[in-house]
Structure 1
Amino acid sequence: MKRILLAIAAAALPFSASASPELAGNWGMKAGDLREQTASLIETLDASGKADITPAFETEIERFAYAATQLGRWIDGNDGPSDLGCIFRGMAEEGVVQLDALEEAETARDTRDSLLRLAVMFSDAEVIAAAATQSALHATPALDSGLASCPVNTAAAKAALK
């Protein structure tokens, strides 16, 4: 139930409905903020054995994942590099996976592992956001072979493998 409420809250928050270079830049800045918050949580966990994962922090991760999904769609819809769209979709999925891992963490080690994965992802997202913004600001996007390195619809890809 908590996950459903977070998803609804994330969808209602003020990210632009249509992704753009501006959203990519904002997403990258938010990734930097989340990286810092996550690093602080790791430090607290290391010092005291516990970290206060607040609902506000969880909501920000949900928003991050939602924006990553929008950015993946924007890249795909504007003939951007398929690998960049794939990266955005992967980050969206990883954000949700790590939120679930934080909720299910039974030990401080489990929590730390999830927080560390998030911190690394947020750091990577800062670089990816800059690349997406630069690609969009140039008249010609980065060359793309046309072959998607990951599927837009993972359910369809899994069905195709059966």
Structure 2
Amino acid sequence: NTAVKPSVGGNARKFKIKRGGEIKEVTMDMPKVKIQQNCEAMWVDIKNVTIPVETSDQQRHASILGAALTPDDKLTYANEFKVQAYCEYMIKDALKSLGLLNKVDTHLEFSMYLMKPDIVLVVKCQGRVFFAVEVKSPEVGDEKVFGNHAVAGQIWSYLYAMKASGNQCPIGAIMTYN
């Protein structure tokens, strides 16, 4: 996506950390990697995604997200952390429906090269991160989150970090819950 403005300069990241009461700027270099570009679409429309809701014997999968619904079938939130929890529930429901819950685990605020994606998916037997999710609070009546260059840059940085860690085909997503 040529509209994406990466939030990185080369392989260097600059951070401010607090050490002994002082705030110091730290520069960290990530390993160099080659990211192959292709002409496939970067964004997937949610209308084109199907997750099975029934088992092979036509029984409904139990839903973690469904258990969070209020009596009037709504999900309420006061901050991004609650939205993050709903998104994790939705991911776990999808993993369960696909029969992958025993092979893939989710972690919140997992640190990668001093960056922290909101949710990462990890292959349990390898401990390898293969999917990073950036969660944003839903915007009322507007979808600016999905077209925001800064948010796209965050995902790009996570993909770059996963690639630098040896993941040949990293995957990322931006999620809200609305």
- TM-score (normalised: structure 2): 0.27
Q: Which has the higher helix share?
A: 1
Higher normalized contact order (CA 8 Å, seq sep 6+, divided by chain length): 1
TM-score by structure 1 length? 0.29
Q: Radius of gyration: which is bigger?
A: 2
